[in-house]
């Protein structure tokens, strides 16, 4: 359900971000600048608001900032090319943003007397990083790893919906969302490990010979 929701949401948002991306390219703005600005916005929303318990304001700031992840992609398409550094920067900034979001949630849960929910947030943080790393590491040895039921978009949708329902005073829903997301993230990490194991079955890399590498380009 989260995957369907994220796909539909991206399709609707694309109608807005594609013209915006073309306008920014014509103005001479680099997609890399937009990527960094979006990450800074997530840091402000997470560390400045969520960590202090201002969940609704933090949710709004983070949601707006995360949308820049689609804007920089639209800019790259409008420009007609991508760069290796752009892809590297985009992926790195995503990891920083995700760590800020779940780290801030864990801090808030811990300081507000909810250690069990804090543990769930920490599992989400760690498992989410493993999920992303597994894909990147697989690509570095020439294996596609676009599998899993809780990729980055789905993780953000689940935590966002849980936070929104919390702001609407629905009891226990945020803690439940964290534990569901923790379980899905761990399962996704396992899915990717199994997928790469199957794809790499029978392959051998002679010692002293570097594994094949694949460069991921910006969307």
Residues 124 and 159 sit within 8 Å (Cβ to Cβ): yes
Residue 115: its pLDDT value, please? Answer: 95
The pLDDT assigned to 70 comes to 82
Query: Tens of pLDDT along the chain (219 residues)?
Result: 444 445 545 566 677 788 888 899 999 999 999 999 999 999 999 999 999 999 999 999 999 998 887 888 889 888 888 889 998 999 999 999 999 999 999 999 999 999 999 999 999 999 999 999 999 999 988 999 988 888 888 888 899 999 999 999 999 999 999 999 999 999 999 999 999 999 998 888 787 656 555 554 444
Classified as helix, coil or strand, 7 is helix
Q: How many C-beta atoms surround the C-beta of residue 149 within 10 A?
A: 12
CA–CA–CA angle 90, 55, 94 (5° rounding): 10
CATH number assigned to the domain comprising residue 96: 1.20.120.1760
pTM for this prediction: 0.84
Report yes or no on 181 lying in a domain. yes
Name the domain count of the chain. Answer: 1
Q: Which of 94, 98, 144, 175 is catalytic?
A: 94
Instruction: Output the six-digit token pair for 132.
Output: 């992303």
For residue 143, tell me if it sits in a domain.
yes
Residue 205 lies in a domain: no
Residue 62 lies in a domain: yes
Domain containing 74 equals 2-199
The per-residue pLDDT for 11 is: 62
Q: For residue 105, tell me if it sits in a domain.
A: yes
Q: Is residue 214 part of a domain?
A: no
Is 94 assigned a catalytic role? yes
Spatial distance between the Cα atoms of 194 and 201, rounded to a whole number of angstroms = 11
Residue 211 lies in a domain: no
* Predicted pLDDT of residue 213: 57
Q: How many other CB atoms sit within 10 Å of the CB of residue 141?
A: 17
Which tens digit of pLDDT belongs to each residue from 49-79? Answer: 999 999 999 999 999 998 887 888 889 888 8
Q: Is 207 a domain residue? A: no
C-alpha to C-alpha distances, 139 to 14, 62, 77, 91, nearest whole angstrom? 27, 29, 22, 13
């Amino acid at each position: 359900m989260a995957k369907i929701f994220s796909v539909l949401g991206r399709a609707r948002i694309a109608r807005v971000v594609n013209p915006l991306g073309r306008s920014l390219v014509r103005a001479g703005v680099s997609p890399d600048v937009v990527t960094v600005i979006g990450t800074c916005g997530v840091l402000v929303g997470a560390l400045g608001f969520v960590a202090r318990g201002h969940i609704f304001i933090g949710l709004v700031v983070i949601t707006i900032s995360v949308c820049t992840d689609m804007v920089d992609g639209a800019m790259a398409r409008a420009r007609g090319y991508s760069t290796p550094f752009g892809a590297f920067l985009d992926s790195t900034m995503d990891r920083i943003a995700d760590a800020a979001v779940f780290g801030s949630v864990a801090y808030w849960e811990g300081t507000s007397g909810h250690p069990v929910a804090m543990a769930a947030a920490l599992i989400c943080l760690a498992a989410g990083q493993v999920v992303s790393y597994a894909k990147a590491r697989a690509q570095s040895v020439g294996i596609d790893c676009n599998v899993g039921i809780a990729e980055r978009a789905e993780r953000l949708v689940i935590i966002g919906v849980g936070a929104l329902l919390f702001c609407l005073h629905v009891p226990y829903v945020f803690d439940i969302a964290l534990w569901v997301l923790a379980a899905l993230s761990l399962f996704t990490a396992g899915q990717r490990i199994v997928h790469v194991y199957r794809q790499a079955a029978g392959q051998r890399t002679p010692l002293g010979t570097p594994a094949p590498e694949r460069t991921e380009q910006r969307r």
